[in-house]
Structure 1
Amino acid sequence: MSDEHGAQFSSAYGHPIIETPNMARLADQGVTFDANYCNSPLCIPSRASFMTGQYVSSIEVWDNTKPMAVDKLTWPYLLRNEGYDTALNGKMHLVGPDPLHGFEKQLSRDPHIEAPLDHYRWSDGIPTAPEDWYGVREADPGVSPMIEADDAMEKAAVEYLSDPARHEKPFAMCVGFIAPHFPFIVPEPYFSKYYPDNVDMPNLPDGHLDDLPPSAQRLRQMFGLDGKWTDDEIARARAAYFGLCEYLDDKIGHLMDVLEEQGLAENTVIVHTSDHGDMLGEHGLWRKMCFYEQSANVPLQISWPGKFEGGQRVSEAVSNVDAVATILDIAGVELEKWDLDGQSLVPALEGDTSTLNDVAISEHFAHGTDRALGMVRSGNWKLCYGHGDPVELELYNLESDPGEFTNLAGIPEHAEIQDRLLKILLDQWGDPDAMTEKIVRDQEDREIVRNVTGVGTIF
């Protein structure tokens, strides 16, 4: 599980520049889902959803300072119940008193839980950034602490897979690489391979930035994303990200090689995904926290040599809660006994996509917004909804408008699909007014706790 990697930023998903031969190798030997989505475009809510197989609105881990309940059932607990050795290696970004939530051990450090994150309340409104976001201008070749952490994760993963005990007991290791998350700093030769002559620029049609939806305008205001960087600064940041994607790909390939060297490849399922993507300047945005494809569409590749036929592509919409149900199903867990929001993808992996519901839900309830935001993807259509006064709606046909430049919400000829997708989201939320009140109350409660205790997050 990588961090901040949009699916389209890989050759396996058709990028014309970025070279990710090992993701392509996974595609050749396994099944690639072309319309897979994170369940929240933000680290902690997305990862809590992934751990539990439930939507953020189900588990109520709203934002980056909300811990998950220590007794919450997770897929590592369920796999341990089936006799698996479970290990977390690197990032899962689970704040609070229990950073493992069912994993038996941590093989290498999670650098993103070592410092508290800022707490935001909707009652404070959307702040205005005092300056441009620093992340673009720091792009450079080099080695950051995050690169060092990823290298340590790779080493720990190799040691774990090389232990003879891996042949004696079923195992499940989750390797949480930081790449390609900013800082946009990557070792050579990954940087110079793309900068300055092998990088493209964001696709920004004339007038598009003046016509952004309110959700995007809020992000630009809060994070200083109003486009004051030079073309060279933008190119450097994108090139560094491209390099980080290839750096990540090399690590995936190394672990695949180790599986083969240790005689584990034929009896090991590989699941490759990410917690969310990065906008990289598209639609005038950087980072994530929105439902554009660069932010919400993430890789999902599942390989089991000899069991699932390689080279398959699945076009139906799925999401990471489905990946969780699939992991449990493969491990022999009886899914009907547990409260999961996803469906097993095993039939699709075996070549039968007829049972897929073709629905993906993603939600955002944290900073960068002042209201509950939700997305539903089904077929070629994507609906984005902001609950408030006034209601915010976006509707895109990703077949005819893959860049998401033309909002079709409110057009009568599309009313049926708009209503159908909105109903899917509101059925999940129940009473969106009551949910909003619960979120706001929780934000206020945690603000008091933080002020009284003086700690950055609840430990």
Structure 2
Amino acid sequence: MKFSPVLLTIGLVLCLFSCADTEQETASETPSRPNILFIMSDDHAYQAISAYMDHLIQTPNIDRIAKEGMLFSNACVTNSICAPSRAVILTGKHSHLNGKIDNRSPFDTTQVTFPQIFQDAGYQTAMYGKLHFGNNPKGVDDFMILPGQGNYINPRFITAEGDTTIEGYVTDIITDLTIDWLDKKRDPNKPFFMAYLHKAPHRPWWPRPDKFKEFTKKTFPEPASLFDDYSNRGTAAKTAEMNLLYHMQYPHDSKIRPETLEAMGEVKPEVPGFAGGFNGPYGRTNDAQRAQYDPVLDSINQFFQENWPGMTDEEKMKWKYQRYMQDYLGCISSVDDNVGRVLDYLEESGLAENTIVVYTSDQGFYLGEHGWFDKRFIYDESFKTPLMVKWPGVIEAGSTNNEMVQNLDFAPTFLEAAGIDVPTDMQGESLMPLLKGENDSWDRDAVYYHYYEYPAVHMVKRHYGVVTKEYKLAHFYYDVDEWELYDRMKDPQEMNNVYDDPEYADVVAELKDKLAELRVKYKDSAELDQKFIDQYNK
């Protein structure tokens, strides 16, 4: 049987229209999987984000994520120290199961990380910035990572092709690389997971020269507990070595030149310092960069040499606090500027519409509270971490959530958002119900915390604990056996340990039961505690 050319043409056209309609129906029924941009800074205290508190600094670009999405007011970590926190995020497992309990122990490379799962599911993956452990991140198609802590000035990067050094300021460079990947290296036919990881504001807090000049002219309000004497607290708080006056180092932290200290002779209080604490970062500058830093450094050093010997201890503490805040917040100002650059790129490129943007830190940080810097404790300033998530069309703009969530939850959340099955051995809970405003389906009432790195730098004792919205119970162990309880509603600064207060006896009993329950749930135990102590002491 023969068909005329006209009939064949008509049939072909009808078929094409029919197929096109079918494809459009399928596309509308199956939305494209979301991209994920995971932004993490290092040691960024929630107190230094104006979406949380605006007494220290304005961070309008980071705040954009909260204004366009959700801010979590009770986000926290499982172990407040850099590399272990990152291992928890990557694996969705507590430190005692993923093996990375402290900065010293190696990461178990047999552990499956969530970028590997994304890669297997067809996502394009990339990582730029600070990983902090391992030179060959798993599950990423492209990476440029800082070795170890990395450098602020003219940083070196590890790549699949070898090491490379890039001239400039690290926060700007990581952003340049990230935008370049999004713009030129990304496969537009695949969804992506991008880890955009800042070194800042990690110690030793070297701002970019213009920020250094700007912020040294600023004065910042002091925290109410700057001169905390740790009364009504246990041994741990009293023996920790992270006091601004007695442990913050003159060259490494306050930017006092070694030759200034040498010319002054005896400087009190005497603070042991890292070899090359000043010259390590400063020695990386080229002539042009040094010319920008020197006038500000000269001013700081001149003031210190002329005034320090005659200051009281109280005046010295206040001066050190201001120097600390000037440098720390100067670093954050650059992070905020650069986050704005990336958000602008997403908007201008059209990627923002289908991209989940997350901003967080690997943990919190002390900004003079209790007289401290650093982190490690279960106390709020180090235990809590910033967390903001925006996802157009899913998360209600400007919403706030106060449920107890942890960095343990990130991996399951990302996987569920991408429609990927969550491995059964991950211990976190997906935050998807909370992101969608379905708080009633969230049943977690307490989180578990465990810190291991002792004896070590800052000498914060080993401890584990349970935290609810209302209370915090911690057990310090190893060379002590002490308990602390804080009423988070009545004592938000955690100045009064009420563990032995008879009025809280029922709370103590209830929380000890809850703590025992969580230790079983998360497969932690006294036997594991001893195992890690024995490993540490070898």
* TM-score, with length taken from structure 2: 0.71
* Structure 1 stretch displaced more, 10-19 or 370-379: 370-379
Matching of residue 272 in structure 1 with residue 376 in structure 2: no
Match of 2:533 in 1: 440
1:176, distance to aligned residue in structure 2 (A) = 1.1
* Structure 1 stretch displaced more, 178-187 or 164-173: 164-173
Q: 1:350 aligns with which of 421, 433, 436?
A: 436
Change (3 A) 1:354 1:8: farther
1:281-315 residue CA offsets vs partner (Å, 9 max, x unmatched)? 22122111112222121111111112211111011
1:28-56 residue CA offsets vs partner (Å, 9 max, x unmatched)? 11111001112211111111111101111
Letter in 2 for 1:73: V
Q: 2:321 aligns with which of 225, 230, 234?
A: 234
Q: How does 1:164-203 map to 2 (within 5 A)?
A: 165-203=186-224
* Structure 1 stretch displaced more, 292-301 or 357-366: 357-366
1:144, distance to aligned residue in structure 2 (A) = 7.5
Change (3 A) 1:78 1:415: farther
Match of 1:334 in 2: 421
8 A contact 2:79–2:85 mirrored in 1 = yes
Letter in 2 for 1:60: G
* Structure 1 stretch displaced more, 29-38 or 283-292: 283-292
Whole-Å separation in 1 of the counterparts to 2:246 and 2:125: 40
Matching of residue 374 in structure 1 with residue 467 in structure 2: no
Matching of residue 216 in structure 1 with residue 237 in structure 2: yes
Greater Rg over alpha carbons, structure: 2
Q: 2:94 aligns with which of 55, 79, 87?
A: 55
Matching of residue 257 in structure 1 with residue 344 in structure 2: yes
Change (3 A) 1:331 1:284: same
3-state SS of 2:496 partner: coil
Q: 1:37 aligns with which of 60, 66, 76?
A: 76
8 A contact 1:77–1:103 mirrored in 2 = yes
8 A contact 1:277–1:295 mirrored in 2 = yes
8 A contact 2:179–2:345 mirrored in 1 = yes
1:83-105 residue CA offsets vs partner (Å, 9 max, x unmatched)? 1111111111124xx53032232
* Structure 1 stretch displaced more, 196-205 or 73-82: 196-205
Match of 1:68 in 2: 107
Letter in 2 for 1:400: K
3-state SS of 2:73 partner: strand
Letter in 2 for 1:170: P
Whole-Å separation in 2 of the counterparts to 1:57 and 1:66: 11
Change (3 A) 1:230 1:391: closer
8 A contact 1:219–1:225 mirrored in 2 = no
Q: Give me the identity figure in percent.
A: 29
Q: 1:10 aligns with which of 49, 74, 82?
A: 49
Matching of residue 396 in structure 1 with residue 486 in structure 2: yes
1:428-449 residue CA offsets vs partner (Å, 9 max, x unmatched)? 445743122210222245xxxx
Whole-Å separation in 2 of the counterparts to 1:428 and 1:105: 38
Match of 1:416 in 2: 506
8 A contact 1:153–1:175 mirrored in 2 = yes
Change (3 A) 1:213 1:194: farther
Whole-Å separation in 2 of the counterparts to 1:246 and 1:213: 36
Match of 1:407 in 2: 497
Matching of residue 102 in structure 1 with residue 139 in structure 2: yes
1:145, distance to aligned residue in structure 2 (A) = 5.0
Whole-Å separation in 1 of the counterparts to 2:515 and 2:86: 20
Letter in 2 for 1:37: C
8 A contact 1:109–1:149 mirrored in 2 = no
1:212, distance to aligned residue in structure 2 (A) = 4.3
Change (3 A) 1:290 1:270: same
* Structure 1 stretch displaced more, 306-315 or 405-414: 405-414
1:156, distance to aligned residue in structure 2 (A) = 0.6
1:155, distance to aligned residue in structure 2 (A) = 0.7
Change (3 A) 1:210 1:76: same
3-state SS of 1:332 partner: coil
* TM-score, with length taken from structure 1: 0.83
* Structure 1 stretch displaced more, 386-395 or 352-361: 386-395
Structure 1 gaps, min length 5: 116-141, 446-459
Structure 2 gaps, min length 5: 1-39, 157-167, 249-268, 270-315
8 A contact 2:124–2:186 mirrored in 1 = no
Whole-Å separation in 2 of the counterparts to 1:110 and 1:143: 12
Whole-Å separation in 1 of the counterparts to 2:331 and 2:320: 17
The alignment covers a number of residue pairs equal to: 415
3-state SS of 2:413 partner: helix
